[in-house]
Chain A
Amino acid sequence: MSSGALAKPQMRGLLARRLRIHMVGAFILSIGAGAYYKFAVGDQRKKAYADFYRNYDSMKDFEEMRKAGIFQSAK
C-alpha cells in the first residue's frame, strides 16, 4: 500500500478553464490571420500600385507597346 495520500485532483471547472484558454487562443489566431492578410497582402498591394504609378510615364509605355506592334491604330 502507498504511504502518502495523493493530492486531490482538479475536479471542477475543467471545461470553463479550457474555454477560457481557447477563447483567448481563438481570438489571437483570428486577429493574427486578419492582420497577416492586411499587412502581407492588402498593404503590399497598395504599395505596389503606388510604386508603379510614382514615376510612370504613359507615353513611354505607349511607345514601347507601339514598337512591339500590338496596336491596330498606331503602327
Chain B
Amino acid sequence: MAYPSQLGFQDASSPIMEELLYFHDHALMIVFLISSLVLYVILAMLSTKLMHTNTMDAQVIETIWTILPAVILVLIALPSLRILYMMDEINNPTITVKTLGHQWYWSYEYTDYEDLMFDSYMIPSEELKPGDLRLLEVDNRVVLPMELTIRMLISSEDVLHSWAMPSLGLKTDAIPGRLNQATLSSTRPGLFYGQCSEICGSNHSFMPIILEMVPLKIFESWSSSMV
C-alpha cells in the first residue's frame, strides 16, 4: 500500500506489475540520459562568449539528432509492446468476479458456483478502530485466492468509475453499459489497497477497494460462510 513520502510505485505483488516496474526503470534511465545531456549543453552554451556567426547549414548534426531520437523511441517501444502483449496472454482464469461501481461504493458478485453478492462501503473516519487506515478501510473486503489467475469483470451502475489496484498493476474503467475485463493474480497473501480512479461525484475519494488475498482453502470456507 502507499506510505508517507513515497516517491516511486508501490511494491509489485503480481508478475505484470514487476515487469512494469522494470520497464519504468528503463524509460526513466533514458529520460535521465536525455535530460542530463540537454542540461549540460544548455550550461555549456550559456557559459561562453564565443559565437559562430556565419552558420549556413549543419547537415551532420541534423542527421544525428534525427536518427538518434528515432532509435531511442524504438528502444522504448519494444519493451513497452512486449509488456502490452504479455497483459493479454491467454491465462485461463480459475474464477470470475464481477465488480460494479456505484455512487459511492463498490459491489462484488461471485456467481461461478453460488450467488454471492455484497457491497463494500468505506468505513467513515469517525468509526475507525486503532490501527485502521483513514479513507482506505472498507466494511466488506474482496477476498480472493492468492497465486491463482482471477478474471475481474468491471462495470458501473451509474457514472464512470475506475477500479484500481496499484500493487497489482491494475486500473480498469468501470463504464455503465460496458463490461471491461481485467486479469488479476497476486504472488503473495495479504491486504492490497486501491481507490476509485475516475471522478464520479462528491464522494469519489471515499470509495476504496481492499483485496484480501488468502490461500484457496481459506477462500473456499469464507465464500461458503458468506452465501
Interface string of A34-52 (1 = CB under 8 A from B): 1001100110011001000
Interface size counted on chain B using CB atoms at 8 A: 38
Interface of A is mostly: helix
CA distance A30 to B35 in the complex (A): 8
Confirm or deny: B26 has a beta carbon within 8 angstroms of a beta carbon on chain A. yes
Please tell me if the beta carbons of B40 and A25 are within 8 angstroms of each other in the complex: yes
Please tell me if the beta carbons of B33 and A14 are within 8 angstroms of each other in the complex: no
Please tell me if the beta carbons of A73 and B219 are within 8 angstroms of each other in the complex: yes
In whole Å, how far is B13's beta carbon from the nearest beta carbon of chain A? 11
CA distance A34 to B143 in the complex (A): 42
Interface string of B133-149 (1 = CB under 8 A from A): 00000001101001100
Stretch from B48-56, B155-163, B201-209 forming part of the interface with A: B48-56
Confirm or deny: A8 has a beta carbon within 8 angstroms of a beta carbon on chain B. no
Q: Which residues of the partner chain A approach B214 to less than 8 Å between Cβ atoms?
A: 62, 71, 73-74
Interface string of B204-227 (1 = CB under 8 A from A): 000000001011001101100000
Confirm or deny: B116 has a beta carbon within 8 angstroms of a beta carbon on chain A. no
In whole Å, how far is B199's beta carbon from the nearest beta carbon of chain A? 29
Q: Which residues of the partner chain A approach B12 to less than 8 Å between Cβ atoms?
A: 49
Q: Given A26-B37, A72-B141, A73-B143, decide whether A37 and B189 contact each other with a Cβ distance below 8 A.
A: no
Nearest A residue to B146, CB-CB: A58
Please tell me if the beta carbons of A42 and B26 are within 8 angstroms of each other in the complex: yes
Q: Given A25-B40, A27-B37, A58-B189, decide whether A45 and B48 contact each other with a Cβ distance below 8 A.
A: no
Please tell me if the beta carbons of B21 and A45 are within 8 angstroms of each other in the complex: yes
Interface string of B21-65 (1 = CB under 8 A from A): 110011011101110110011001000101110000000000000
Please tell me if the beta carbons of B26 and A33 are within 8 angstroms of each other in the complex: no
Q: Which residues of the partner chain B approach A14 to less than 8 Å between Cβ atoms?
A: 50
Q: Which residues of the partner chain A approach B111 to less than 8 Å between Cβ atoms?
A: none
Confirm or deny: B84 has a beta carbon within 8 angstroms of a beta carbon on chain A. no
Please tell me if the beta carbons of A62 and B215 are within 8 angstroms of each other in the complex: yes
The 10 closest A-B pairs by CB, nearest first: A73-B222, A30-B37, A34-B33, A42-B25, A62-B189, A15-B50, A33-B36, A26-B40, A22-B44, A30-B36
A-side residues, CB < 8 A to B, are 14-15, 18, 22, 25-27, 29-31, 33-34, 37-38, 41-42, 45-46, 49, 53, 56, 58-59, 61-62, 65, 70-74
Can you report 9 residue pairs joining A to B where beta carbons are below 8 Å apart?
A: A18-B50, A22-B41, A25-B44, A26-B41, A30-B40, A56-B188, A61-B188, A65-B189, A72-B212
